[in-house]
Amino acid sequence: MRGLPERIQLKTPDQITLMREAGLVVARALAAMRDAAAPGVSTADLDGVARGVLSEAGATPSFLGYHGYPAVICASVNDRVVHGIPSTGEKLREGDLVSIDFGAIVEGWHGDAAISVAIGEVAPDVAALSAACEKSMWDGLAVARSGARLTDISHAVETSIRGSGTYGIVAGYGGHGIGSEMHMAPHILNYGRPGKGPRLTPGMALAIEPMVTLGSRATEELDDGWTVVTTDGSWAAHWEHTVAILEDGPWVLTAEDGGRAELAARGIELSAAAA
Ligand code: MF3
Ligand code: CO
What proportion of the chain, given as a percentage, has pLDDT over 70?
A: 99
How much is the pLDDT for 3? 60
**Is 74's C-beta closer than 6 angstroms to any atom of ligand 1?**
yes
pTM of the model: 0.98
**Cα 104 to ligand 1 centroid, rounded to whole Å:** 11
Mean pLDDT of 211-216: 99
Predicted confidence (pLDDT) per residue in 61-105, tens digit = 999 999 999 999 999 999 999 999 999 999 999 999 999 999 999
For residues 17 and 186, is the Cβ–Cβ distance under 8 A?
A: no
Q: How many CA atoms lie within 13 A of 115 on its CB side?
A: 17
**Phi, psi angles (nearest 5°) of residue 220:** -140, 160
Short-list 155, 134, 153, 140, CA closest to 211: 134
If pLDDT is split at 50, 70 and 90, which confidence band does 25 have?
A: very high
Query: CA-to-CA distance for 198 and 202, rounded, in angstroms?
Result: 13
How much is the pLDDT for 162? 98
pLDDT above 60: residue 2:
no
Sheet holding 211-213, edge to edge: 168-169, 211-213, 236-238
If pLDDT is split at 50, 70 and 90, which confidence band does 5 have?
A: confident
**Is 111's C-beta closer than 6 angstroms to any atom of ligand 1?**
no
Query: What secondary structure letter does DSSP report for 98?
Result: E
Query: CA-to-CA distance for 173 and 223, rounded, in angstroms?
Result: 18
Instruction: Report the nearest-CA residue for atom 12 of ligand 1.
Output: 63
Mean pLDDT of 3-17: 90
How much is the pLDDT for 68? 98
How much is the pLDDT for 89? 97
